[in-house]
Amino acid sequence: MSSLRKISILIFSLFIFFAARVSAQELIQALQIDSVVNKDGTVRITETMLYDFGNEQRHGIFRYIPYKKVNQDGKSYVMDITVEGVSDEKGNGYRYSVTKSGNDLTIKIGDPDKTVSGQHIYIISYRVNGSLTYFDTYDEFYWNGIGSGWDIPINLVRAEVNFGQSFGEGELDGVCYTGLEGSTNKECAVDKLHNGVTFTTNKVNPGEAFTFAVKFPKGYAAVLEPAEDKPSTVQLILMALAGIVAASFYVFLPIFLLIKWLREKKHVRDTARIVAAWFSPPKTADGEALTPVETVITADVTAGNKAVPATIISLAQRGYIKITQKEKKEFIFSKTEKPEDDLLRQYEKDIYTAIFSEDAIEVSTKKLSKNEKFGVAGTSLASEAADYLKKTGVFKSNPVNTSGGYLALSIMSFFTGNIFLAAVSFILGRKSPKRPDSGIQTYSEAVSLKNFLVSQDPQFDFQAQEMMFFEKLLPYATAFGVEDVWIKRFKDLFNTNPEWYRGDDFTRLVVLNSIVNSSYHSASASSRSSSGFGSGFSGGSSGGGGGGGGGGSW
């Protein structure tokens, strides 16, 4: 019997002492998950569970584990999972079979000719290739110790991740998540040692998950990426048939898209009432004012490249953040006493929370470039803003996703030689998300506001007498990328800075926008692994790692 198994059983015996009790309900009294990260890049996992069948007469249990995982770009990869054995606490082997179906590997344990009831211990050992993720400055094991597929409660869970050597102080870090899939709750304890990290949680209810991640130094484990999920022969045949069908639309599809775009454009042109100037943020049909990034998407379909800095300036202008110019190319964001409220959109809350993560009171733009949570929040901002526009009836579908789909079609068409379709998709398709009649008035206001912000017409100079007016529309000018024009128009007002800005020269705010964008892109890049998988430490959640699945009895 291996030393790891002896340790597992010893620890598990303590679990039994505290957790085991007679129960009429089928459940798992305790579960111990031992993971060893090997230097060859593999991970050996041993699950020791005290399964209580209660009064039920069953043959045994089954355990299924997803062997495929999808990265942040939607690309599927395959982990190689090898089951090494299933036994009881005395080392006696159980009868079991291993099958693959869909995306899952299923381990069926028990004898169809015998039934069991009450409490039994099952020790399942398996080795995983491709479960590690590799980042620029660290590597990570991000795993769903318990997936959301269990229909029975698990009373007590302990997970331990060990390494073949000891590390220095602070070189290992751990985080864990509990609750329904996607939850960021952390109702679990983390105990960091020199050669491993331990996670514990008291109870996992049916349908919930328990996920943990361990960050460890680069160079310890060999790079062993999961294999790309290549299509099977049947899938290749279906793809070939799809290609034949697609070829038949080589001419008809671009013509269809062209006609569709012309009809939509004519409908908007005939319905919209665009004026030379509009002096306030556009509103939805329900009278809800749009944020800067929502306004840009409404007018131009895409969010542009200033969505993140525009959102930050909007938060500052509304009293949630103070901006201080520290050096020529460095700024400080400070948290104000104003609490978050329901007036903020979820993506605004995400940006705010990411900036001041770990209860920080202030943060520099330099430090922000290393903040992975900030990168994740910035990456999802445009799509979440577009979801809000769909929800409120400004668009019929998510315009950012629709535009992205046409861009992907354009790229694919270009590389397959369909230049006509590529041009139509890129030039017209990306601008063709449908707007309901209720959203065309909002579109009219957004375009009219843009006209005013970019205008140099002297007849609008009367508006440049109000500092409050300048502050109100500054985030919108930033989102449209014309903040330099807007600041120049109001330059005579800069005897004093706005309450939310501290610095010698307010016009340096234009520099801030490029710095924030640089920080956001740097942070976004650092939150992706070499295969495009996210980190459990930035944007991590319950059920967000590899493995997981579930099980039950049969």
Are 473 and 466 in contact, with CB atoms under 8 Å apart? Answer: no
Q: Are 16 and 28 in contact (CB under 8 A)?
A: no
Query: What does the CA dihedral 485, 486, 492, 498 come to, rounded to 10 degrees?
Result: -140
What is the distance, to the nearest Å, from the Cα of residue 158 to the centroid of all Cα atoms in its chain?
A: 26
Q: Closest by alpha carbon to 16, among 50, 61, 60, 53?
A: 50
Q: Which residues of 296-311 are buried (b: 16+ CB within 10 A; e: fewer)?
A: bbbbbbbbbebbbbbb
* SS3 track for 290-355: CCHHHHHHHHHCCCCCCHHHHHHHHHHHCCCEEEEEEECCEEEEEECCCCCCCCCCHHHHHHHHHH
Q: pLDDT tens digit string along 110-145? A: 999 999 999 999 999 999 999 999 988 899 999 999
Ranges in the chain annotated CATH 2.60.40: 27-229
Question: Distance between CA 283 and CA 272 in Å, rounded?
Answer: 14
* Residue 255: per-residue pLDDT: 77
Mean pLDDT of 487-516: 73
Give the burial string for 222-254 (b: 16+ CB within 10 Å, else e).
Answer: eebbbeeeeeeeeeeeeeeeeeeebeeeeeebb
Q: Which pLDDT belongs to residue 461?
A: 54
Rg value, the chain, Cα: 28
Output 538 or 474, whichever has higher pLDDT: 474
Q: How confident is the model at residue 18 (pLDDT cuts 50, 70, 90)?
A: very low
11-49 CB burial, b ≥16 within 10 A, e <16: bbeebbeebbeeeeebbbbbbbbbbbbbeebbbbbbbbb
Could you give the CA distance from residue 511 to residue 472 in angstroms, rounded to a whole number? 20
pLDDT at res. 385: 92
Q: Which of 101-115, 134-148, 237-251, 480-494 has the lowest mean pLDDT?
A: 237-251
- What pLDDT does residue 532 have? 61
- Predicted confidence (pLDDT) at residue 339 exceeds the cutoff of 50: yes
- Angle of helix 252-271 relative to helix 419-427, nearest 10 degrees, comes to 20
Would you state the pLDDT for residue 211? 96
Mean pLDDT of the chain: 83
Q: DSSP string covering 135-164, please?
A: -SS-EEEEEEEE-TEE-S-B--EEEEEEES
**Predicted pLDDT at 200:** 96
pLDDT of residue 1: 46
Q: What per-residue confidence (pLDDT) applies to 118?
A: 94
pLDDT of residue 504: 72
DSSP 465: G
Mean pLDDT score, 311-319:
90
Cβ-Cβ contacts under 8 Å for 278 (sequence gap 6 or more): 445, 448, 449, 451, 452
- Write out pLDDT tens, residues 427-440: 777 677 888 888 88
Report how many helices (DSSP H) and strands (DSSP E) the chain contains, helices first: 14, 24
Mean predicted confidence (pLDDT) in 513-542:
67
Token representation of residue 24: 């009429």
Count other C-beta atoms under 10 Å from residue 64's C-beta: 22
pLDDT band at 529 (very low <50, low <70, confident <90, very high): low
Strands 149-150 and 550-553: parallel
Q: Span 55-66, mean pLDDT?
A: 95
Q: Please tell me the pTM assigned to this model.
A: 0.56
CA distance 407 to 387: 19
Residues in the chain: 554
Which tokens belong to 28?
Answer: 């798992």
3-state secondary structure of 7: helix
List the structure tokens of 193: 């040692």
Top mean-pLDDT range of 2-16, 248-262, 392-406, 477-491? 392-406
Give the architecture-level CATH label for domain 27-229.
Answer: Sandwich (2.60)
Mean pLDDT for the stretch of residues 174-194: 93
| Nearest of 418, 167, 449 to residue 294 by alpha carbon | 449
CB 465 within 8 A of CB 305: no
Segment (H or E) for 452? helix 437-454
Please give the structure tokens belonging to residue 201: 């949680």
How many CB atoms are closer than 10 A to CB 287? 6
Which of 101, 103, 143, 108 has its CA nearest to residue 122? 108
Residue 95: pLDDT band by 50, 70, 90 thresholds?
very high
Least confident segment among 186-190, 375-379, 445-449, 489-493: 489-493
High-pLDDT (> 90) share of the chain, %: 39
Cβ atoms of 216 and 167 within 8 Å: the answer is: yes
391-426 pLDDT, tens digit each = 999 998 888 888 888 888 788 777 777 787 778 777
Contact of 131 with 531, CB cutoff 8 Å: no
What would the pLDDT profile of 63-76 be if each residue is shown by its tens digit?
A: 999 998 887 777 78
More confident residue, 192 or 255: 192
Determine what percent of the chain is predicted with pLDDT higher than 70: 83
Phi and psi for 532 in degrees, rounded to 5? 90, 15
Q: State the pLDDT at residue 463.
A: 53
Q: Encoding tokens for residue 3? A: 């030393």
Place of tokens 């017409």: 457
Is residue 217 over pLDDT 60? Answer: yes
